Structure 1
Amino acid sequence: MHTPPEALEWTYRRDLIIEEVFRHFPAATPPDVVAMQEVDHYDELLEIMASRGYAGTFLKKPDSPCRRSLDPSLEDGCALFGRRAALTVEGVQQHQYVTGLQNGRVAIGGSNQVAILAALRRPGAAKPILVGVTHLSAEKSSEGERSRVAQVGELCAWLQAAAERWDAAATVALLDMNGAPRSTNCKYEPAAYPAAIGGRLRSAYQLVLGAEPAWTTWKRRGGEELKMTLDYVLVSPEVTCHRVLLPPDDADVDFERLPGWRYPSDHVMLAAELSVVDG
């Protein structure tokens, strides 16, 4: 990693994370929902988000790699925050994927990936909206892609069942899919992304821009430089997409890439302005 060690110090990154979440929005209209993946300091983030008017929920991975880090007391997972003034939480479901990787091979019962789903109702709305956050298998290989395809299938079935259970007006899924939309910069044929948008879910960025952003992660690891689109905002047909947040201009990214002094994560933040007419 080329990032200066001082730029990775947690309290420095924590403050940048919070700044990045809110700096793209007017103070009077902060985001209604904030989703995060690979969160390993949830209690601190919850305290800050609660002071800004948000309720939160967290689901850690069953075997977090953080346990084998320099601070084995940490455990990472997915977090979901909803603004209390804008949304009422009607229910929360948690999910551990059945399919995952074991010793580099796809296996049943081998998953270390999780997801959170919340039913959120806006004031005066007849029905809730389902919002999910998840992080899929990270290995960039054909076996890793097979695992992601299976996990996408689980996710879509779970979302559909939850939509029926809560009679939801719409569904929004926020993913670090770890899968590219096209094969231009990976060594295997992408299959998870087509599987995700082959049913009821559509990409908010695709709807607004006509394509996914050019990249959502850009990092240098040793002699390798990785610049790919791996993160998505997926919505059901009932959702209208108005605007999306673009990645920084390439010229504004530090030589060390991400993370760095000016950006706290190796993935950029995605944001979308959405509405549901009948929600």
Structure 2
Amino acid sequence: MLKLNIKDETSQLKVVVLGTAQSNGPIPTVEECYDPKSVEYVKAGTYPKIEDMVLEMQSVEDVLKKYNVEVFRPKQIENYNQIFARDIAFVIDDKFIKANILPDRAKEIEAIQQVIDQINPNKIITLPEEAHVEGGDVMPWNDYIFVGTYSGEDYPDFITARTNMDAVIALQELFPEKTVKSFELRKSNTDARNNALHLDCCFQPIGTNKAIIHKNGFLVEKEYQFLVDLFGKENLFEITKEEMYNMNSNIFSISPEVIISEKNFTRLNSWLRKQGFTVEEVPYAEISKQEGLLRCSTLPLVRE
């Protein structure tokens, strides 16, 4: 049995699910895209090729194994995008919470059934149907659970709005001893530079007391200010709109000292090294064209 344990974003990683790009299917039409960034690359004729994405994901698996992390991969579904394992479920403490994601993506959870079978069934939670949530919006951080959301009346109009207030309430009921803190995110179906698809697209804690953040991803200044006050301005790395677009906040921590990052994130990676982190650089620029990066492709199950 897997003894689930996730209290934060950075403790020593033991077990993780890493998505797969083996059979990603044909290039989507503009109408089939779920986010404005994919649309750009479909129109430009530079949508990522399967063989490039497979190599990128392999480089991540190699780094994880170098640090003795046990890595599960989903069972391959033909012609189906299974890269972003983070969206389909997430773990908080010892509970495995199934995400209610876009209906078109429901098969993705079935592909990790071999992992779910190793979890105590009493620890598997399915949220109520009206609670929409994706793992990219949910971040356990010690006594807090940070949740990216969008509560505007036009929520149904945004395919980029993935987590609603019903989910925030459901998480608070599940974890009454924690503080569930929600953040309104800026959404756009058409402009990827003004769209924070998930919370991890504009914010992520690293180490024990630092974080990467993008102010414009937050709709409400005082919610952004809450994070500045919590972490301290000197501990935050502020990314630009262009860096947010390139997913600089979507790196992945193996431990409080070791971070997997994209090799083109030169400004971020040099700052991380100055702060004393070990940065394992991987190529991930092709996968990032689908508005997701390293955190999006991983589903941590056990941290120390």
TM-score normalised to structure 1 length? 0.38
Higher helix content, 1 or 2: 2
Structure with greater contact order relative to length (CA < 8 Å, sep ≥ 6): 2
TM-score normalised to structure 2 length? 0.36
